[in-house]
Amino acid sequence: MRSAAADLARPGAAWAVPGLVFFCLFALVPMVGVVYLSLTSWDGLSDPQFTGLQNWSRFLGDGQMWQDTVVTAVLLVGNIVVQAPISILLGVWSAGKQRNRAVLSAIFFLPLLFSTAATAVMWRQLLDPNFGIPAKLSGLIGDTNLLGSQSGAVACLVLVTSWQFIPFHTLLYQGAARTVPETLYQAAAIDGAGRVRQFFAITLPQLRNTIVTSTIFMVVGGLTAFDIVLLLTDGGPGTDTSILPFAMYQTGFQTYDYGYASVIASFLLLLATGASFVMVKLSGYDKMTSTLEGM
């Protein structure tokens, strides 16, 4: 005989079946497939030929892959450094009660509604050296050759990605900032804390869990996002902005070297899993402690 309370506490394992089936079908099976393909040579036409670790040893000695990994990391860090502060500030601001808040927030959120393809095509036109923004600001930008240098192209990628995704993260922070109890601010005001002090002593610590969530989104999203690179710079100039997901696409779907592309995919899989695992551990996110504990 089991008590009703025990039944309530733990739902049966059967409830996990639909989720598990989907996970196996659309995540595990392809992952195993990719690992298998990484051990073969396959052009997509004939049958895959088993070649053992040949692709992997080529990968380890491939200077371009090392560069791609570095560029991936630079873009990732650049995006976090630019997006996190701006979206925290915007989010906290838009959680307030100002009169123009609703209208301005709506305008800030607009880029979120555009598809990446539309965003990239639009920005390519805007970044045209002869007819776009650089031509009008040639005093500031110099030779207007923004997409023609590695630093310029990376900066453009960070700019456009930030423009597109800051609204999303702002939305996260806005929601989180609204849950911070008003009483905390009232108490701080009585103790004589100004707005800046209140932000650092109350708002930021209260947003801790959201910061972790938003950063994980940025890291995992950054590791898999290649559409903006494909459409804005196509990996150029040369291979200067080729990131791992882009290299995977190009190797697989442009040069039909599915074996080697699978190596890159497997490496990305390891990288993304590892990165989110480390972040969750480091931040103590897995313990799920509430920021409202003791109140």
Partner 1 sequence: MKNITASRKRACITLAVSAALVVTAAGCGSSSSTAKSSTGSASLWMLQDPTNSVSQSAVDAYNTTGPGKVSMNVIATDGYKDKLRTAMGSSAMPGIFFNWGGGSLSDYVKAGKLVTLDSDLISHFLPSALQAGTVDGKLVGVPSRGTQPVFLFYNKKVFTDAGVTPPKTWTDLVNLVPVFKAKGITPFAVAGTATDSWTELMWIEYLVDRLAGPDLFSKIAAGDWNLWSDPAILKTAQMVKQLVDSGAFGSNFASVSYGAGGTSTLLDKGKAAMVLMGSWEYATQQAADATFAKSGLGYVPFPSVEGGKGNPADVVGNPTNYLSVTTSAPSQTAEAFLKTTYSDSYVAGLVAKGEVPVTTNAKAALAKAPDPTYAMFQYNLVANAPSFTQSWDQALGLTLGTPLLTVIQKLFNGQDTPEQFVSGVLAIKH
Strands, E assignment, 141-220: none
| Count of other CB atoms within 10 angstroms of residue 104 | 14
Q: What does the buried/exposed string (b/e) look like for 107-134 if buried means 16 or more CB atoms within 10 Å of the residue's CB?
A: ebbebeeeebeebbeebbeebebeebbb
**What is the enclosing helix (H) or strand (E) of 277?**
helix 258-283
234: contact with partner 1 by CB under 8 A: yes
Minimum CB separation of residue 231 from partner 1 in Å reads 8
191: contact with partner 1 by CB under 8 A: no
Name the 3-class secondary structure at 40. strand
Nearer to partner 1, 125 or 289 (CB): 125
- Is the distance from CB of 68 to CB of 247 less than 8 angstroms? yes
151: contact with partner 1 by CB under 8 A: no
18: contact with partner 1 by CB under 8 A: no
Minimum CB separation of residue 131 from partner 1 in Å reads 6
Minimum CB separation of residue 250 from partner 1 in Å reads 7
Tokens representing residue 154 in the block: 């990376």
Q: How far is residue 177's CA from residue 210's CA, in Å, rounded to a whole number?
A: 9
* Residue choice 239, 276, 283, 291 for contact with partner 1 (CB under 8 A): 239
| Count of other CB atoms within 10 angstroms of residue 101 | 14
- Dihedral angle sign, alpha carbons of residues 51, 55, 61, 62: positive
Please report, for residues 92, 198, 245, the alpha-carbon distance to residue 194 in angstroms, rounded to integers and kept in the order given.
16, 6, 46
Nearer to partner 1, 80 or 158 (CB): 158
Minimum CB separation of residue 6 from partner 1 in Å reads 48
208: contact with partner 1 by CB under 8 A: no
Nearer to partner 1, 49 or 179 (CB): 49
Nearer to partner 1, 16 or 137 (CB): 137
Nearer to partner 1, 125 or 179 (CB): 125
Please report, for residues 74, 76, 107, 158, 161, the alpha-carbon distance to residue 81 in angstroms, rounded to integers and kept in the order given.
10, 9, 23, 10, 12
**What is the enclosing helix (H) or strand (E) of 263?**
helix 258-283
* Residue choice 236, 279, 280, 291 for contact with partner 1 (CB under 8 A): 236
- Non-local (6+) Cβ contacts of 165 within 8 A are 79, 83, 112, 218, 221
147: contact with partner 1 by CB under 8 A: yes
259: contact with partner 1 by CB under 8 A: no
Q: How far is residue 151's CA from residue 157's CA, in Å, rounded to a whole number?
A: 10
How many residues line the site for partner 1 (CB under 8 A)? 34
Q: How far is residue 240's CA from residue 251's CA, in Å, rounded to a whole number?
A: 16
* Residue choice 186, 255, 273, 289 for contact with partner 1 (CB under 8 A): 255
256: contact with partner 1 by CB under 8 A: yes
43: contact with partner 1 by CB under 8 A: yes
* Residue choice 233, 262, 266, 268 for contact with partner 1 (CB under 8 A): 233
Nearer to partner 1, 111 or 237 (CB): 237
Binding mask 55-94 for partner 1 (x = CB under 8 A): ----------------------------------------
Q: Which residues bind partner 1 (CB under 8 A)?
A: 43-47, 124-125, 127-131, 134, 143-149, 233-240, 250, 253-257
